[in-house]
Amino acid sequence: MSLRGKDLLSVHDLSLADIEDIFALAKQLKTERKQGIEHHLLKGKTLGMIFQKSSTRTRVSFEVGMWQLGGMALFLNSNDLQIGRGEPVKDTARVLARYLDGIMIRTYSHAEVKELAEYANIPVINGLTDLMHPCQALTDLYTVLECKGELKGRKMAYIGDGNNMANSLLHTCAKVGMHISVATPHEYKVNEDIVKEAKADAAQSGSVIELVNDPYLAVKDADVIYTDVWASMGEKSKWQVRWQALARFQVNSELVSAAKSDAVVMHCLPAHRDEEITAEVMESAQSIVFDQAENRLHVQKAIMALLMGA
């Protein structure tokens, strides 16, 4: 089934075939870029990028990616839009849809992204909400595929806060048949509705989903160890409480040694070194953190081309 004209709000909405199409095109575009081959699949098209949360990787990868595809990206800070002054989301959606060929939005409320997609008759891409981070999760598993050669039957251990990243990794692993063990404190567990959705997909794909409170149990036999910051944007005031709950979930050399000897370590960045992950592990030979960061460009180009292309 073609992705053309559709939205990407959650990986749960994608089929396995959709994910395979994204990965195949990402590989092709990455190879062509390395060879200096131009691929103007979105020539003459424009992407509007709405940012209510600041970002390094999201802004640069989407903006550069759109340019490499032959199109143009517009940076739209929410303070510069009428949506930041109280205009209803549905009004902004219908106006932007008459100017643009696609919208990427990075914001707080997932409901706001769903409303934007409901009223905009052009593709809407979720660049991040407090609930989900689908583009990052797709990038992560594409990176694992590059590194390990296959996804089905491999095991990922997610360690730390049960945040939007954990939610989207649950969705994505469950779709492709990759096992995932999520280790979080009781206070910061993953969203229960997301777990139900992921388990439904896992029943079809053969993925095994584990929710534990012991990071050492999670990393046993893991091919991939993944972590993220302990306090996301808007949660800094709760830092001290979070640190106390999450301190034993740090990804350090001792924890990494409890996984498979060839396990790789991932982090979606930005990283707070020596908090959720040690500098030693970040800079180790097992870290593929910066391969992840690069692949945001290639995977998101594939997403844009498939949703917005001819």
pTM above 0.95, yes or no: yes
Residue 56 labelled as part of a binding site = yes
Clarify whether 133 is annotated catalytic: yes
Say whether 136 is catalytic.
yes
What does pLDDT average to over the chain?
A: 96
Which pLDDT value is given to residue 237? Answer: 64
**pLDDT given at position 183:** 98
**Can you give the pLDDT at residue 240?**
84
Question: Residues 179, 267, 296, 298: which is the catalytic one?
Answer: 296
For residue 2, pLDDT beyond 90: no
Whether residue 268 lies in the annotated active site = yes
The domains found in the chain, sorted by start residue, are 11-132+293-308 (3.40.50.1370), 134-290 (3.40.50.1370)
Percent above pLDDT 90 for the chain? 92
Q: How many Å apart are CA 194 and CA 132, to the nearest integer?
A: 10
**Token pair 């959720």 in the structure block, residue:** 276
Q: Is 94 a catalytic residue?
A: no
What would the pLDDT profile of 253-279 be if each residue is shown by its tens digit? 999 999 999 999 999 999 999 999 999
Average pLDDT, integer, range 124-132: 98
Of 18, 52, 68, 136, which is the active-site residue?
A: 136
The answer to the question of whether 55 is labelled as a binding residue is yes
Could you say which of 12, 110, 133, 171 is catalytic?
A: 133
User: Is residue 243 pLDDT above 70, yes or no?
Assistant: yes
Structure tokens at 38: 């131009």
Catalytic, 28? Answer: no
Q: What is the pLDDT of residue 234?
A: 56
Based on the residue annotation, tell me whether 296 is a catalytic residue of this protein: yes
pLDDT of res. 236: 61
Contact 100, 135 (CB under 8 A): no
Closest CA to 93 of 109, 113, 63, 73: 113
154 assigned ligand-binding residue: no
- Spatial neighbors of 5 by CB under 8 A, at least 6 apart, are 122, 123, 307
Structure confidence at residue 84 (pLDDT):
63
Residue 22 binned pLDDT confidence (cut-offs 50, 70, 90): very high
pLDDT band at 231 (very low <50, low <70, confident <90, very high): confident
- For residue 186, with 0-12 CB atoms within 10 Å meaning exposed, 13-18 middle and 19 or more buried, which class applies? exposed
- CA–CA distance, 20 with 177 (Å, rounded to integer): 12
Active-site annotation holder among 7, 18, 21, 106: 106
Does 282 carry a binding-site annotation? no
Is there a binding annotation on residue 139?
no
